[in-house]
Structure 1
Amino acid sequence: MTMRADMTTTASALARTCFRRALAAGLLLMLAGCSILSDKPRSTSTIYAPDPQVQADPAWPKVQWQLVLAPPTSPRIFDSLRMAVRPTPGELQVYRGAQWARPPSDMLQDTLLRTLEDSGRITAVARQGSGMAADYRLLLDIRRFESDYTHGNGTPAATIEVSAKLVHVASQRIAAARVFHQATPAASTSVADVSNAFERSLAMLGHDLAGWTLTSGQAHNATLPRS
């Protein structure tokens, strides 16, 4: 009787051990499945790619000198794929689930380069590092590139502020300097309308920058001694 009881007890213990191991294995499989699911992105970002179109002004001078565009500088918060928004004065955030296709510095430089090239008003223009021997170099510093709600009308304005310096390469002196500011109200608070407003801001800023660069460079060039 004792031997049978011991055998029964052993069999029960073995069964319980097997059950616990099977249960643990099942839990591990369930956790592994949850882990795989949690690694998937919860949502995808919408990518916005403004494509500003700028028409040349017939009043712009036609110049015989060459220009290189230095890479624009900017604080990291603005020169990012994240879209900066200023809900109140002194506070910066970013739009959730939205991003730029290219950093603002690239958008600004590309807009200006294309505007000057398409205008037919300058002998040559290129990005710095192209190897082109230039007469002038344009330095740009992006101070603001943000959706600004602080105007008080309930909808943001696509706000861009850029400091520009035109440098005469041979003398390394500043030929002209100016701060440009453009704020275009968005049609609504939707990010798509904000992106459209930035497209218009870039177009207007590109127009103003191109015209100022050509006019200022030509005025300075006229003061140089002729060989």
Structure 2
Amino acid sequence: METQARYSLIGLFTLCVIAAAFALVYWLRGAGGFSERATYRVVFESPVTGVLPGSPVLFNGIAVGDVTKLHLNPDDPRQVIATLSLAPETPVRVDTQAGLVSQGLMGAPSIALRGGTPAAPRPSSTGGAPVLTADPAATQDVSEAAREALRRLDTLIADNAEPLHGILANLSTFSEALARNSSRLDRILEALERLGGGGPAKAPARIYDLSAPHAFPTLDKVASGQLTVPEPSALVLFDTQKILVRPQMEESLALDAQWSDSLPKLLQAKIIQSFENASYPQAVARPTEGLTADYQLLIDIRSFQVMLLPAPNADVEFSAKILAGDGRLVGSRIVHASVPVQATDAAAAAAGLNEAFSKAATELVLWVASLI
């Protein structure tokens, strides 16, 4: 019995706390609260769709209170009476008008108070809360604004129906084309990535060098005079580091390999080394400032590539001219060497061109030594 009595007291206490909480909430949302509130009534002559108890009340755009009650006038069913609870310092006058405003196109409406002259008295009433004047077109303004916005949207869609249809048709066509070429999409993206400099890092090109010949026959006579070898001249085609292949007479291709230097500079260095390897008795060097030479060896590169027709062969050809110190032409000659190659890959092409150059350089050294 004592246990049941304790449970009854606990239940009664809980119900009292809940009732007190509801009473406090009702009191705070009503005309009371922590501060004094001013109560007004607004009579609307048309529906106030969307306005609910708790909806905000604005005065010149500033929130000053809220709606505490909405009810119909029992004597005139066309009228809706809204009870407002406002801050007491709100400057409401007898000529203040009430209306409805909407917070955006889809926002909930709220009651807006506006107007009122400073000299007008505050509203008063002997029978309940003072009544404010409602703008007759208040609810129509909100509804008309929404209808006008929807009307404009409908007009916009109607005017652009054909372009929108075309856009959707184009999107459908593009989607179908994309589906048909989905298997090629990865390759297209890879090609674009390579075009923009992306993609996996490309393996560096293999580099090859030329070898100056070492074995020379005994010179018929002892050469005299100092010899300089300027950098050979060449067409733009041969002024490169690329190893070239000519598949037909009017076409040259570059292999994925290169010489250790541009071809004119490389030939200049290797020709000088060839004279040195032949034990040329006098000085041979590049032209330098302050060096007075007895002779100049002028080289013009005509061919330095692998010819594929009629049979693969490494072809080296250049013209050579010997000028005396006074500008006199001592001699000129076309030096040509050709060596068959077994394959057209970079390694075989470099080996064949190196062998052909060795033959041409040997012929050049012997010819120059015989003239000077």
Q: TM-score range by the shorter chain?
A: 0.7 to 0.9
Distance change >3 Å, CA 87–CA 125, structure 1 → 2: same
Displacement over 4 Å in runs of 4+: 34-37
The worse-fitting range, judged by mean Cα deviation, of 37-46 and 73-82 is: 37-46
**Residues 143, 163 of structure 1: 8 Å contact kept:** yes
Cα distance in 1, alignment partners of residues 197 and 227 from structure 2: 53
1:180 is aligned, of 322, 335, 338, to 335
- Which residue type is aligned with residue 274 of structure 2? T
1:138 equivalent in structure 2: 297
The 3-state SS of whatever aligns with 1:189 is coil
1:119 equivalent in structure 2: 278
Larger radius of gyration: 2
Distance change >3 Å, CA 60–CA 41, structure 1 → 2: farther
- Higher RCO (CA-CA < 8 Å; seq separation 6+): 1
Distance change >3 Å, CA 2–CA 42, structure 1 → 2: farther
- Report how far residue 39 of structure 1 moved: 6.0
Cα distance in 1, alignment partners of residues 253 and 197 from structure 2: 29
Cα distance in 2, alignment partners of residues 161 and 144 from structure 1: 5
**Residues 213, 277 of structure 2: 8 Å contact kept:** no
The root-mean-square deviation of aligned C-alpha atoms, in Å, is 2.7
1:92 equivalent in structure 2: 252
2:258 equivalent to 1:102:
no
- Report how far residue 143 of structure 1 moved: 0.9
Unaligned runs of 5+ in 2: 1-48, 52-102, 108-192
- Report how far residue 104 of structure 1 moved: 1.7
Cα distance in 2, alignment partners of residues 190 and 40 from structure 1: 24
- Deviation string, structure 1 residues 6-43 (Cα, Å, up to 9, x no partner): 9xx99xxxxxxxxxxxxxxxxxxxxxxx8998165334
**Residues 111, 202 of structure 1: 8 Å contact kept:** no
Instruction: Report sequence identity in percent.
Output: 24
- Deviation string, structure 1 residues 18-69 (Cα, Å, up to 9, x no partner): xxxxxxxxxxxxxxxx899816533421222232333122134322211011
- Report how far residue 114 of structure 1 moved: 0.9
1:166 equivalent in structure 2: 322
**Residues 299, 320 of structure 2: 8 Å contact kept:** yes
Cα distance in 1, alignment partners of residues 293 and 333 from structure 2: 21
2:313 equivalent to 1:157:
yes
**Residues 315, 339 of structure 2: 8 Å contact kept:** yes
